[in-house]
Amino acid sequence: MTLTSAAVEQLESHMPKVVDARTHGIIDYCHAAFFFGMAWLWRKNQPRAATAALLTGGFILVESMLTDYPLGVKKVIPFETHGRMDAAFAGASFMVPKVFGFEGTTASKVFTGNGFAESAVVGMTDWNSEHAREEEHDGKFAIAS
């Protein structure tokens, strides 16, 4: 386990569980939009970072649309699996600048910050509690009890 992975794991395991499934979905769609915006911003001056941001935004968008939570479109990924994917993505975010060849740039700091922010969201999300899940009933959402 790398030092970064250990730090991410510690961050995730010590956070209060205050984010429910609906709120996590909103964060996910905003997260995807952020990376699409970064791709547009970096498209001319930092094309490698723009490519990484576009792929990141696309991954987050597709994962969100396929997750079994209130804002999912085609609910094929269980919410708990989504959490494990997000945790892995948080750790991988630190490697993106090296893999895409823009290490040491301002854009690389965005991915580093994303790794910590993603870890915090994963750590604060209540993945398993019945209170974290909302179920759709007759077109209305209600907290599962």
124 in any annotated domain: yes
Chain segment 57-66, per-residue pLDDT in tens = 999 999 999 9
85 in any annotated domain: yes
Count each helix (H run) and each strand (E run) in the chain, helices first.
Answer: 6, 2
User: Pick from 3, 29, 4: which is nearest to 90 by CA?
Assistant: 4
Q: How does strand 140-143 pair with strand 134-137?
A: antiparallel
Domains in the chain, number: 1
Question: 76: which strand partners?
Answer: none
Chain segment 7-31, per-residue pLDDT in tens = 666 666 677 888 999 999 999 999 9
The pTM of the full predicted model, rounded to 2 decimals, is 0.81
61 in any annotated domain: yes
Cα dihedral 84, 65, 94, 116 in deg (nearest 10):
-70
Range of the domain at 73: 27-128
